[in-house]
């Protein structure tokens, strides 16, 4: 009985085995993403560094997303019932990509703008920028640069969160 249960727990053809592998792949992706986060923070803390802290942060976020995508791909490849389902899903991939593209237009725009900001480097973490906001002209320090947003901290302690697509298409003045 225990031998059969153990065998089923690691057999991807059984539901119990599929769940076991799903938990293992998810745990592995979480651990890998956490390790990448720790690695990027340690690498950013070593000043002076040959690599820009903004690039380190951005690259770490992309690699963290890749950890989950890779885990999902391996999981789908391992589970036989998902392999058959994958063939059917591949046939409708064009329609799904169109729907997702339209639904995530702003998010994808922020991601592409974030990549262009990283490549062109008009500013870096720690730079002081002056920009126009709905409340008027603001001067703030760039504190964080993520896949979708740039986070700025004003001198009086207020946060300005700007979507990357907005900051990439607007004029701002780099003070320092």
Confidence at residue 158, expressed as pLDDT on a 0 to 100 scale: 93
What is d(CA 134, CA 156) in angstroms, rounded to the nearest whole number?
17
Confidence at residue 34, expressed as pLDDT on a 0 to 100 scale: 95
140: three-class secondary structure by DSSP: strand
pLDDT tens-digit map of 48-57 = 656 677 777 8
Q: Are 111 and 150 in contact (CB under 8 A)?
A: no
Using 70 as the pLDDT threshold, list the residues of the chain that sit under it.
1-9, 47-51, 84-94, 176
List, in order, residues 6 or more apart from 138 with CB less than 8 Å away: 130, 131, 132, 152, 154, 160
Confidence at residue 170, expressed as pLDDT on a 0 to 100 scale: 84
What is d(CA 141, CA 159) in angstroms, rounded to the nearest whole number?
10
Domains of the chain in start order, with CATH, are: 2-89 (no CATH), 92-176 (2.30.30.60)
What is d(CA 122, CA 30) in angstroms, rounded to the nearest whole number?
33
pLDDT tens-digit map of 69-91 = 888 888 887 888 777 665 665 56
Please name every residue paired with 128 in a beta bridge, in sequence order, or none if there are none. Answer: 141
Confidence at residue 56, expressed as pLDDT on a 0 to 100 scale: 79
């Amino acid at each position: 009985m225990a031998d059969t249960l153990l065998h089923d727990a690691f057999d991807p053809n059984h539901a119990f085995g599929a769940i076991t592998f799903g938990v293992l792949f998810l745990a592995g992706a979480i651990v890998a993403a956490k390790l990448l986060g720790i690695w990027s923070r340690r690498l950013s803390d070593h000043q002076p560094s040959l690599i820009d802290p903004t690039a380190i942060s951005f690259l770490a976020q992309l690699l963290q997303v890749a950890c989950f995508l890779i885990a999902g791909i391996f999981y789908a490849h391992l589970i036989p019932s998902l392999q058959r389902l994958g063939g059917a899903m591949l046939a409708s991939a064009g329609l799904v990509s169109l729907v997702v593209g339209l639904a995530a237009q702003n998010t994808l725009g922020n991601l592409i703008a974030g990549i262009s900001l990283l490549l062109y480097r008009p500013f870096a973490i720690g730079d002081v920028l002056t920009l126009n906001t709905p409340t008027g002209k603001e001067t703030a320090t760039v504190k964080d640069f993520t896949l979708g947003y740039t986070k700025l901290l004003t001198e009086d302690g207020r946060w300005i969160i700007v979507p990357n697509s907005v900051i990439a298409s607007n004029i701002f003045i780099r003070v320092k």
